[in-house]
A and B are shown apart, each in its own frame.
Chain A
Amino acid sequence: MSNLELGPDESPEVIAAALLTVRDRLVGFVERCDAGQWAARPLAGQGDERPTCVIADHVADAYRYIGEWIPQIVAGGSVEVDSRVVDALNAQHAERAQGVAREEVVQHLRSEGDDFAALVRSLSDQDLALGEGRVGRLAKIGLLHTGGHLQELEDSLGPPG
């Protein structure tokens, strides 16, 4: 996959559409990968022992928690997010998602991805600028995070199937 960068002022509807485009590619990878790829630990060399199934499901989980932060910032609230918070959320998810079934991951990616895209689409250009641009950055992180993990899976495991 090539450049996933969007312009600094890209419209919410285009960010949402891009996110769904990349989400569908990840769903395609999940649906077509073989049993070996599904059980593999593609990031073990980087100290991340999560298997493919957990990594893919984690993308859906991230849609959920990022999607909870955005409305809080739009409403004027403060959201404290740093690497410690994100690492804890991801560790909790990895425990919950051990052995998650392929069908569950696909359904999770679709439902959470659709909800996240709908949230982004509902924002205005002005909303994206709230929190000193943090809303826009979180919206784009949903896309970049998806594309980044898909790229890692493809680079480590090759094409699915």
Chain B
Amino acid sequence: MANPKRAHVDNREKVRRFALDLPDAYEDFPWGELVVKVNGKVFVFLGGDQADPPPGMSVKLRDSHDQALDAAGAAPTGYGLGRHGWISVPFGAGSPPAGALSDWVEESYRIVAPKRVVARLDAKRAATAPRRVSPGRVERDA
């Protein structure tokens, strides 16, 4: 049986590492909580280590906003952030797969980051995207 606490830790760490791998992203600890920023702006909140509120992330979404709200336990972020598109998604058993969490982190990054930095992400994605070499067969660039 999956350990729910382990799942919290795993998801938080996966999201943290994914976020920090985005161009110019760096972590910070304003008001005692872990956040990841780009160009001085937060694009994902990862909370503190305390149990209340439960571990999770908050991201700013547009295209995936409604989809993310359908995730188990997801809700508009408090303190007025929800009305600006921020959504809080809890980690743990029943939370969306890590791939979906990462997609939402990237969407938030694209909303918050300057265009010139997003262009670098696009270039990075293009360089590592699977390249179709023949019908039905793809190859990843080295």
Contacts and interface: CB of A to CB of B under 8 A. Distances in A.
Interface of A: 1-11, 13-14, 16-18, 20-22, 25, 117-118, 121, 147
Interface of B: 28-33, 37, 39-42, 77-81, 83-84, 86, 112
Main secondary structure of the interface of A (DSSP, over half): helix
Among B32, B77, B80, the one with the most A-chain Cβ atoms within 10 Å of its Cβ is B80
A3 B42 contact: no
Given A1-B31, A1-B32, A13-B80, 6 more contacts: A2-B32, A5-B30, A7-B37, A10-B41, A14-B42, A20-B80
A141 to B, nearest CB: 15
B39 to A, nearest CB: 6
Contact of A10 (B29, B42, B78): B42
Given A2-B30, A6-B30, A17 B79 contact: yes
Nearest to A20: B79
A7 B30 CA distance: 10
Contacts of B80: 13, 16-17, 20, 117-118, 121
Given A7-B37, A7-B41, A8-B40, A117 B30 contact: no
11 contacts: A1-B32, A7-B37, A10-B41, A11-B41, A14-B81, A16-B80, A17-B77, A17-B78, A20-B79, A22-B31, A121-B80
B28 A3 contact: yes
A2 B29 contact: yes
Contacts of A17: 77-81
A4 B39 CA distance: 16
Contact of B31 (A7, A21, A118, A121): A21
A23 to B, nearest CB: 10
A17 B42 CA distance: 12
Nearest to B112: A11
A34 B61 CA distance: 43
A87 to B, nearest CB: 27
Contact of B81 (A1, A3, A5, A13): A13
Among B31, B79, B83, the one with the most A-chain Cβ atoms within 10 Å of its Cβ is B31
Contacts of B29: 2-3
Q: Nearest 10 A-B pairs (CB), nearest first?
A: A7-B40, A17-B79, A13-B84, A20-B79, A2-B29, A17-B81, A9-B40, A8-B40, A121-B80, A7-B41
A8 B29 CA distance: 15
Nearest to B29: A2
Contacts of A4: 30-31
Contacts of A14: 41-42, 81
A99 B79 CA distance: 31
A18 B31 CA distance: 7
A25 B78 CA distance: 15
